[in-house]
Chains A and B, each alone.
Chain A
Amino acid sequence: MTAGTNAAGRAQIGARTLRTDRWWLQPALTVAALVAFIIYSTIRAFANTAYYAPPYISPFYSPCLTTNCVPGAGDVNLVGDWWQLSPALIILIFPLGFRLTCYYYRKAYYRGFWASPPACAVAEPHGKYTGESRFPLVLNNIHRYFFYAGLVFNVILTYDVVLGFRDAQGNWGHAGLGTLVLLLNAAFLWVYSLSCHSCRHLIGGRLTHFSRHPLRYRMWTWLSKLNAQHMRYAWISLFWVAFTDFYVMLVASNTISDLRFF
C-alpha cells in the first residue's frame, strides 16, 4: 500500500479502494489479450516460415526486404544478404512502435501492466510516479513519427491487397478469401491510423482558427468522430492483423486451401 490516499491530513480510510464492482476485470482482460498477441506475434516473427502463400503475404512480413525472403514475397532486397534472421524482425519495429506509443495503448498498458493506476480510484502499488515527464516514457511523444511510418506501411499493405487480385501465377482477375482478409486488414489499419490522436492533431487540431481553414476543419470534424472510436479500431485492427497472418500461415503451410471467389 502506498502513502497516497493515506497521506497525512487526508481521511484515514485505509482500504486501497472501496470500489465494489469488478474493477480488476478490465485490466485483466487487457493484459490477457495483449499477452496473447505478443506471444503469437513473437513466435510468428521469429518463425520465418509460412508467411507467403502466393499471392498473399502476411502483414508481419510485408514489405519483405532481405535476400533471404521467400522468392516472390518481396524482391526488393533493400537490406542485403548479411541479414540471416527472420525478415519480419526488421520491419515489425514500426507497427510495434506505432502501437506502443499510441495514446490508447498507452492507457491500456499503463493500467494493465503497470497498474498505474489499475483502475480509477484504485491505488497504484508504486512509491514514486513521474509519468511521461522523464526518460524513457517521455519517448512516447514521438508517436507522430510512428504514425508517419504507419502510413507508409498502410500503403504497402494496400499494395499487397491489390496484388491479391492476381492469382499465384500473376494473372489479374483473381480474388479469394485471402484477398478479402487482406483487404479488411488494410482497411482496419487505415481506420486505426486515421483515427489516431496525432493524425487528428496534424490535420486540424493544431489550428487555432478553424474558420480560416474550412477544408481542414471539415476533415478534423470527420476525424474527430473516428477518433472517438480509436480504442475499438485499435483492438479490431490488432486482432485482424494477427488473424491475417494466421490465415496466410494456414494457406502457406497447406493446412487449408484458399477459398477462391473468381
Chain B
Amino acid sequence: MGYQAHFRVWRGDGEGGDLRDFTVEVNEGEVVLDVIHRLQATQASDLAVRWNCKAGKCGSCSAEINGRPRLLCMTRMSVFSESETVTVTPMRTFPVIRDLVTDVSFNYTKAREIPSFKPPADLAPGEYRMQQVDVERSQEFRKCIECFLCQDTCHVVRDHEENKESFAGPRFLMRIAELEMHPLDDADRVREAQSEHGLGFCNITKCCTEVCPEHIKITDNALIPMKERVADRRYDPLVWLGNKIGRRKA
C-alpha cells in the first residue's frame, strides 16, 4: 500500500529560495495536497500552502506539479510512478509570498477593471425572464472556480511581466464574454474587450483551456467568440453595413 516518495518542494519567498528534497510516506488514494499536509505535520510545520475545500470546488490550492499548473487537491498520487520525483512549486506567473503561496492580487485588480453586470433599467427584481438556452453559454463560464491556473499558464503574462498592465487574462476576458452573452445585460462590451482588456494579445494557443479544472472551453467558447464579435465590429464591413441598414438587435 504505502511507499516512500521523493518530493522536491520549492521553499522560499520573494527574496529567493530553492527546491528542497523530501522523502515522505504516500498512501493509497492520496492526492498531492495530502502529501504536502503530511510534510507540514511531520517535517516542515511552517510549510506554507493555500487550500480550502479539498474537493476541487474552491480553487485555492493552485500550484505547479512537475512544471504543470494544477490543483494540488485534484492531482492524485497514482498518476506518478513510485520511483518518480514529484516537483511542486508555486505558480510562476505571480509574485511568491512564501513557499507554495503566491500573491494573486493581480487577478482581483483585473476583476475590478471589468465593468459589472448592468441590470436592465425597466425590470424590477422578480421580473427577469430568461430562456434556458439563452443562459447556458454564460452558465458555462460561471462554473469558473477562480483558481487562476489559466492566468498562470497564459504565456502573455507568464513570460512577459510588462503585459500585466494591459492584459486581463483568460479568466477575465471570459468574464467579459459571460456578460456579453448574458441575455439581460445592458452594456456593450465588445470594443473595450479589445482596446482596454487586451483581447488582441491572446494568440489562442489554448493553454488556458488545457489547464482548466472545470473543463470550461475557454478558448473555443469565450475567447474566439469574443474575437469574432470584435471582428464583427471592427473588421467586417459587411456586418457593419448590415447593422447600418438597421436590422433588429440580435
Give bound CA distance, A19 to B200, whole Å: 28
> Which residue from A9, A12, A17, A137 sits with its C-beta under 8 Å from B203?
A137
Give bound CA distance, A13 to B8, whole Å: 12
Give bound CA distance, A130 to B158, whole Å: 13
B202: interface (CB < 8 Å): yes
Answer whether A3 and B161 are a contact pair too, CB < 8 Å, given A19-B66, A141-B231, A209-B183.
Answer: yes
- Look across to chain A and name the residue whose beta carbon is closest to the beta carbon of B90: A11
Number of interface residues of A (CB under 8 A): 56
Asked whether, in the complex, the Cβ of B201 is within 8 Å of the Cβ of A4, the reply is no
Asked whether, in the complex, the Cβ of A2 is within 8 Å of the Cβ of B159, the reply is yes
Asked whether, in the complex, the Cβ of B204 is within 8 Å of the Cβ of A121, the reply is no
Asked whether, in the complex, the Cβ of B204 is within 8 Å of the Cβ of A141, the reply is no
Q: How far is the CB of B20 from chain A (nearest CB, A)?
A: 13
Q: Which of A12-40 contact B (CB under 8 A)?
A: 12-13, 17-21
- Look across to chain B and name the residue whose beta carbon is closest to the beta carbon of A126: B159
A124: interface (CB < 8 Å): yes
> Which residue from A206, A208, A227 sits with its C-beta under 8 Å from B232?
A206
Give bound CA distance, A111 to B156, whole Å: 13
Which residues of chain B come closer than 8 Å to A2, judged between CB atoms?
Answer: 159-160
Bitwise interface map of A from 224 to 249 toward B, beta carbon under 8 Å scored 1, else 0: 00011000000000000000000000
Asked whether, in the complex, the Cβ of A121 is within 8 Å of the Cβ of B158, the reply is yes
Answer whether A206 and B207 are a contact pair too, CB < 8 Å, given A13-B89, A120-B153, A141-B230.
Answer: no
Which of the four size classes fits the interface of chain B?
35 or more
Which residues of chain A come closer than 8 Å to B64, judged between CB atoms?
Answer: 18, 121
A123: interface (CB < 8 Å): yes
> Which residue from B17, B183, B227 sits with its C-beta under 8 Å from A208?
B183
Q: How far is the CB of B124 from chain A (nearest CB, A)?
A: 21
Asked whether, in the complex, the Cβ of A5 is within 8 Å of the Cβ of B93, the reply is yes
Answer whether A11 and B92 are a contact pair too, CB < 8 Å, given A103-B224, A129-B201, A133-B200.
Answer: yes
Answer whether A208 and B134 are a contact pair too, CB < 8 Å, given A107-B204, A133-B200.
Answer: yes
- Look across to chain A and name the residue whose beta carbon is closest to the beta carbon of B221: A224
Answer whether A9 and B92 are a contact pair too, CB < 8 Å, given A19-B66, A124-B155.
Answer: no
Asked whether, in the complex, the Cβ of B201 is within 8 Å of the Cβ of A143, the reply is no
Which residues of chain B come closer than 8 Å to A129, judged between CB atoms?
Answer: 155-156, 159-160, 163, 201
Bitwise interface map of B from 186 to 215 toward A, beta carbon under 8 Å scored 1, else 0: 000000001000101111111100110000
The segment out of A52-60, A163-171, A197-205 that lies at the interface is A197-205
A10, A103, A211, most chain B CB atoms within 10 A: A10
Which residues of chain A come closer than 8 Å to B14, judged between CB atoms?
Answer: 9
Answer whether A13 and B92 are a contact pair too, CB < 8 Å, given A130-B201, A138-B200.
Answer: yes
Asked whether, in the complex, the Cβ of B134 is within 8 Å of the Cβ of A209, the reply is yes
Which residues of chain B come closer than 8 Å to A142, judged between CB atoms?
Answer: 231, 235
Give bound CA distance, A208 to B189, whole Å: 13
B22: interface (CB < 8 Å): no
Q: How far is the CB of B181 from chain A (nearest CB, A)?
A: 6
A7: interface (CB < 8 Å): yes
B250: interface (CB < 8 Å): yes
Answer whether A20 and B159 are a contact pair too, CB < 8 Å, given A206-B250, A211-B134.
Answer: no
Asked whether, in the complex, the Cβ of B69 is within 8 Å of the Cβ of A121, the reply is yes
Bitwise interface map of A from 104 to 145 toward B, beta carbon under 8 Å scored 1, else 0: 001100110000110011111010111111100110011110
Q: How far is the CB of B68 from chain A (nearest CB, A)?
A: 6
- Look across to chain B and name the residue whose beta carbon is closest to the beta carbon of A216: B250
Interface residues of B (CB under 8 A from A): 10, 12, 14, 16-17, 19, 64, 66-69, 84, 87, 89-90, 92-96, 102-103, 131, 133-134, 153, 155-156, 158-163, 180-181, 183, 194, 198, 200-207, 210-211, 217, 220, 224-225, 227-232, 234-236, 249-250
Residue pairs across A and B with Cβ atoms less than 8 A apart, 30 shown, are A2-B159, A2-B160, A19-B66, A19-B67, A19-B68, A106-B204, A107-B206, A110-B205, A117-B155, A117-B158, A120-B207, A121-B67, A121-B92, A126-B159, A129-B155, A129-B156, A138-B200, A141-B230, A142-B235, A144-B236, A197-B220, A201-B232, A206-B228, A206-B232, A207-B250, A208-B249, A208-B250, A209-B250, A211-B134, A217-B133
Besides the known contacts A121-B153, A198-B231, 12 further A-B residue pairs in the complex with CB atoms under 8 A apart: A9-B95, A10-B94, A11-B12, A11-B17, A18-B89, A110-B203, A129-B163, A201-B229, A206-B232, A206-B250, A209-B250, A228-B220
